[in-house]
Amino acid sequence: MPWRIRLADPAYPGRVFTLTHRGRRPGGRAVLGTLLLSLWLTLLAIPASAHDSLSGSSPADGEVLTEVPSALELTYTGDISDLGVQFMVTGPDDRDVVLGTPEVDGNTVTQELVEELADGDYEVAWRVTSSDGHPISGTYVFTIEASTAAEDPAQTDPPAETGTETDSATPTETPTDATAPPAPADDATQTTAPAATSAPDAGAETVSDAAASTPSESSSGIPAWGWLVAGLAAVGLVACGFLAFRRN
């Protein structure tokens, strides 16, 4: 609300000072209200953004498994409370296949499953309590094809059996062929025995002749030291002739 005050100056009679207050402008209130509303909305958004969420799972969403899983393992962005943890895994026969209660370890929750699981699609529905106390939930699907993967190796067994029969037939024929040659082998041994006996005699005669001829050739030739003396004499004669030529 605006107001006005008049003040007289004692030093100068007749001079008056006027103080005027016009009050707050309507626009200032609107700005203040807008700021308060924005602050309130921000405070409401902080708890909502603090809710944890699912960061990973095993089996993963949409994964096709060739082996039957023994348990589910879900990982969250924050630690999960032990209160209010619920799991439901529905198979192709609409039967819940969870076994026991889920186990919470920090930000990881593990849920065991029954041992015998048929092939087909399985829907996982989970509900846990976030670290800020708010419940969160979700669903995902995975598929099991264990029997299909087990039938594939069975189709490749017949070629392996065929190869086994072929290998077993080969050794059966081999001993039959190997038993025939022993008789000729004895004849060959008896035939070659005299030749083997006479061969050392021929070799002995050759060695004797070579030994006899080697000394005869060495005795008839000039020794090595004789050639050395002859060479030195020839060099001396050439040197003497060269010196005589220089003097003349």
Averaged confidence pLDDT in the chain: 71
Each residue of 48-104: pLDDT tens digit?
A: 555 789 999 999 999 999 999 999 999 999 999 999 999 999 999 999 999 999 999
Bigger pLDDT: 106 vs 23: 106
Rounded CA separation 208/97 (Å) = 100
**What residues contact residue 51 under an 8 Å CB cut-off, 6+ apart?**
130, 132, 134, 136
User: Contact, 146 vs 66, CB < 8 A?
Assistant: yes
What one-letter code names the amino acid at 110?
Answer: T
Q: pLDDT-based confidence at 178, cuts 50/70/90? A: very low
pLDDT at 3: 62
Strand partners, 246: none
Residue scoring higher pLDDT (70 or 210): 70
Where do the structural domains in the chain lie, given as residue ranges? 3-48, 54-150
For 206, list phi and psi in degrees, rounded to 5. Answer: -65, -45
Q: Which residues contact 70 (CB under 8 A, 6 or more apart)?
A: 112, 113, 115
Contact 124, 136 (CB under 8 A): no
Nearest to 124 by CA among 173, 67, 61, 179: 61
Mean pLDDT value of segment 9-30? 63
pLDDT over threshold 80, residue 227: no
pLDDT tens sequence across 112-169: 999 999 999 999 999 999 988 899 999 999 999 988 766 655 554 555 554 444 444 4
pLDDT score recorded for residue 107: 96
Decide which of 77 and 43 is more confident: 77
Least trusted range by pLDDT, from 63-67, 141-145, 185-189, 243-247: 185-189
Q: Is 74 exposed, middle or buried (0-12, 13-18, 19+ CB in 10 A)?
A: buried
CATH fold label, 54-150: Immunoglobulin-like (2.60.40)
**Structural contact between residues 126 and 73, judged by C-beta atoms closer than 8 angstroms:** no
